[in-house]
Each structure stands twice: as structure tokens, then as C-alpha cells.
Amino acid sequence: MQLDSTISAIVTGGASGLGAATARMLAERGVHVTAFDLARSIDSLSDDAKVPGVTYAAVDVTDFEQVSAGVAAAQRATRDAPLRVAVNCAGIAPSARIVGRSGPHDPGLFATVLNVNLNGTFHVMTAAANAMAAQDPIDAGGDGMRGVIINTSSVAAFEGQVGQAAYSASKGAVHALSITAARDLASLGIRVNAIAPGVVETPMMQQITEEFREHLAKIVQFPARLARPEEYAKLAESIISNDYLNGETIRLDGALRMPPR
């Protein structure tokens, strides 16, 4: 699929981190981009932090009605550029042990993490796929391609660390969901892939100490540093552009394999 002004895209978590980098990459290619994020995250953006050519929409991905309305509004705003791309970057990563010093893991926290990371991904994927399915294929007479969806898993889906029970469960579910979605949506001409980042220099990483960030950087094989959000965006661009790439979860981790802690 070619990235240009003839198509539009939705990116969740678009106010910061992976989402902001992906929204910027798409906008720079001429794509009409709508970035979903919480109202408080959008309101906190300075004018300099907003990406030119990106429309910011206050959407809580855990609310399917909000997501459906957001997708419909994005379609109306870009009527001449059909929705062809959806990238799910919205997520949270609180830490808690299954049994810690204060007792058992808070079931409410566990449910919240799954609601944002898994249900939010499912809501956006479902609403976006429904919109894509109603459109004509990009390549009339070709493969019948209608769109591409990229979900964000994590290396924690495969090697969750101490305190990552909720996060690992949610990201493992996103990994499992993506191949099933690729099969479900194949008849509609919609590809689905996932990216599983390692440690990335995003606002989420600001929740941990500088000492621990340095430790994480040292255990990455090569390059021995945290990934940059722009590197996630570059991989997203490659996935969108390669029409034969489908049903895959691709690790973006510098050969990192996470230790227990």
C-alpha cells in the first residue's frame, strides 16, 4: 500500500510516544491522520508538540461507542481519502506483583490494564475494519486490498518480568488476537500485524528510575540502548508498504530477551 494523500489513517495514543511518532511519519507521507487520545493528553500538548497535518480527537479507546463515533467522524472529515490504516498504540503499564508486600494483586488494576491494552485495541480494530470493509479495494482488479491494521504487543508478551502480570497478559492477548484477526479479516482484504517493542524511550518509561533505564539499555544486545519511537514508526511504515506481510508479530528489541527482573 502506498502512503500518500489519497488515504487516511487513525492512530491511537497519538498525543505522545509511539503513537505521536507514527502519526508524524504518516502525516509526513501526506496521509490524512486522526490521532485518538484522552482529552487530558491532547489538552496538555503545546502547539509546538502538535504534528502539522494531524487532527487530534478525544477518544477513550475503552468505550466502544466513543471509538465508533471517532472513526465515523474521521471518515466524514476525510471523505475523499478513505480510511486505509489503523495503528493501535494506546496503552498503560502499571506494575504490581501477583502477591506483594501489601497483599494480592488488585483485581481492579488487572482489569483496567486489560481494558485499555486489549479491549481498547479490539474496539479500534473492529470499528476501523468495519469502515474499511465498506470501501472499494485500493487495487481494482488486483489483490482486493482494503486496509491495514497494526496492533502493539510487547516483548513482555513472551518474557514478562516480575510485576508485569497484568501488562504481560494484555500484550500476550494482543499477540494472539492479531493472527486470529488477520484470518477473520482476510476475506475483506484487510491485513493485520502486530509490533512487539522492547524497551523504548517513551513517556511510559519515565515511570521508572534512571538507574533502571540504564540497566535495561545495557542488557539490549545491539544496539545497546533504548529504542526510539521513530524506529517503531519506521517499522509500521514497512508493514503498511509490504502487501504480503500479514498475521505476524514482529519483535523490535535489539535482540533483547528480558530477564526475570
173-227: pLDDT as tens digits: 999 999 999 999 999 999 999 999 998 888 776 666 777 777 777 788 899 889 8
Mean pLDDT score of the chain, rounded to an integer? 94
Condensed to tens digits (0 to 9), the pLDDT of residues 37-79 reads 999 999 999 999 999 999 999 999 999 999 999 999 999 998 8
d(CA 236, CA 213): 25
Q: Of the listed 56, 167, 232, 244, which one is catalytic?
A: 167
Interstrand relation of 99-100 and 103-104 (parallel, antiparallel or unpaired): antiparallel
- pLDDT at position 174, please? 98
Binning pLDDT at 50, 70 and 90, where does residue 254 land? Answer: confident
The domain segmentation of the chain, as residue ranges, is 8-252
Which position has the higher pLDDT, 208 or 125?
125
Instruction: Please indicate whether residue 167 is annotated as part of the active site.
Output: yes
Condensed to tens digits (0 to 9), the pLDDT of residues 134-171 reads 999 998 678 999 999 999 999 999 998 899 999 999 99
What secondary structure does DSSP assign to 199-250, as a single string?
SB-SGGGGGS-HHHHHHHHHHSSSS-SPBPHHHHHHHHHHHHH-TT--S-EE
Sign of CA dihedral 233, 251, 111, 202: negative
Compute the average pLDDT of residues 231-238. Answer: 98
Residue 118 pLDDT greater than 90, yes or no: yes
Binning pLDDT at 50, 70 and 90, where does residue 110 land? Answer: very high
Which position has the higher pLDDT, 229 or 207?
229
Compute the average pLDDT of residues 113-127. Answer: 98
Q: Do 205 and 212 contact (CB within 8 A), yes or no?
A: no
What is the value of pTM for the model shown? 0.94
* Long-range pairs of 243-248 with CB within 8 A, sequence gap ≥ 24: 243/1, 243/143, 243/145, 243/191, 245/191, 245/193, 246/182, 246/186, 246/191, 246/192, 246/193, 247/178, 247/179, 247/182, 247/183, 247/191, 247/192, 247/193, 248/179, 248/193, 248/194
Condensed to tens digits (0 to 9), the pLDDT of residues 86-108 reads 999 999 999 999 999 999 999 99
- pLDDT at position 15, please? 96
Residues 8-252, CATH architecture? 3-Layer(aba) Sandwich (3.40)
Q: How far is CA 106 from CA 16, 94, 112, 166, in A?
A: 27, 11, 10, 10
- pLDDT at position 79, please? 84
d(CA 76, CA 74): 5
- pLDDT at position 150, please? 98
- pLDDT at position 210, please? 73
- pLDDT at position 139, please? 83
- pLDDT at position 203, please? 76
DSSP helix/strand/coil, 105: coil
